[in-house]
Amino acid sequence: MNIIEIHGLTKDYALGETTVHALRGIDLTIAKGDLVCIMGPSGCGKTTLLNVIGGIDSATTGSVRIGGQELTTLPDREITDLRLHRLGFIFQTFNLIPVLTATENVEFPLLLQKEHSKSEIRARAEKLLEEVGLSEYRHHRPSELSGGQRQRIAIARALVTNPDIVLADEPTANLDSVTGASILEIMQTMNQRQQTTFLFSTHDKNVLKYARTVVHIKDGLIDGE
């Protein structure tokens, strides 16, 4: 069963008077529970593709379906709601909220959902922090943590809502190789344990071994799978 279906996806950006064709007709399907690596050099369109799949950016043309739901025609409020309930995000620069502690950062999406009790939210956040090995840092603010620790909190935050898909944009780019590897191992473990679909982008060939499927992108087009 495909969780992501993309057909004829293009994305153009206006850059001054010129138009940049970031995606030039992507067709891609991703099965539920897959761990997909989107590989390609800088500027090839990896981040744009993840942004469009995540509803963070809009497509110029084409179709993007998440769990059968067409994304390109949804209004902002519903796309935001879809992100909250069905998607998780991991960013290259971790993007934790600096004024919140590790636990509060993990709790954040659940608090936005307003669907769970306080105790349930706290229990889920602490369980995930334990799984990523950061229980003892739960009261620390992001500024008091290392890059690897921050990214593990970001993973916990992405997974706390039990999303269908986690989109990770170069999650290891700002980490040393050992820490990067540990991050990918966590993602691999979570993927296997929870059957969550993971899509991560990278330009580092060394991390391909963690992916079950690799999609190569070049100049806004799929170069091979």
Closest distance of CB 15 from other proteins, Å = 13
- Report the half-sphere exposure of 150 (CA within 13 A, side-chain side): 20
Closest distance of CB 118 from other proteins, Å = 10
Task: Kindly identify the residues of this chain, within the stretch 150-189, that bind other proteins according to CB under 8 A.
Answer: 157
Beta strands 69-70 and 61-66, pairing class: antiparallel
> 80, 135, 179, 188: which one contacts other proteins (CB under 8 A)?
80
Q: Is 137 in the site for other proteins (CB under 8 A)?
A: no
Which of 50-58, 61-69, 202-210, 214-222 is the region at the interface with other proteins (rule: CB under 8 A)? 50-58
16-46 burial: b if 16+ Cβ within 10 Å, else e: eeeeeebbbebebebeebbbbbbbbeeebbb
> 46, 83, 138, 152: which one contacts other proteins (CB under 8 A)?
83
Closest distance of CB 57 from other proteins, Å = 4
Sheet with 87-90, side-by-side order of all strands:
87-90, 165-169, 197-202, 35-39, 213-218, 221-224
Q: Is 91 in the site for other proteins (CB under 8 A)?
A: yes
Closest distance of CB 64 from other proteins, Å = 14
**Nearer to other proteins (CB atom), residue 50 or residue 210:** 50
Which of 67-75, 79-87, 122-130, 187-195 is the region at the interface with other proteins (rule: CB under 8 A)? 79-87
Q: State how far the alpha carbon of 211 is from the alpha carbons of 123, 136, 206, in Å.
A: 30, 30, 11
Structure tokens at 176: 């040393």
**Nearer to other proteins (CB atom), residue 34 or residue 169:** 169
Q: Is 51 in the site for other proteins (CB under 8 A)?
A: yes
Closest distance of CB 100 from other proteins, Å = 7
Q: Is 200 in the site for other proteins (CB under 8 A)?
A: no
Contact between 71 and 55 (Cβ < 8 Å): yes
> 20, 84, 181, 221: which one contacts other proteins (CB under 8 A)?
84
Contact between 197 and 33 (Cβ < 8 Å): yes
The greatest distance separating any two alpha carbons of the chain, rounded to the nearest whole angstrom, comes to 53
Neighbours of 193 (CB within 10 A): 9
Residues in touch with other proteins (CB under 8 A): 51, 54, 56-57, 76-77, 80-81, 83-85, 89, 91, 93, 95-100, 104, 108-109, 111-113, 157
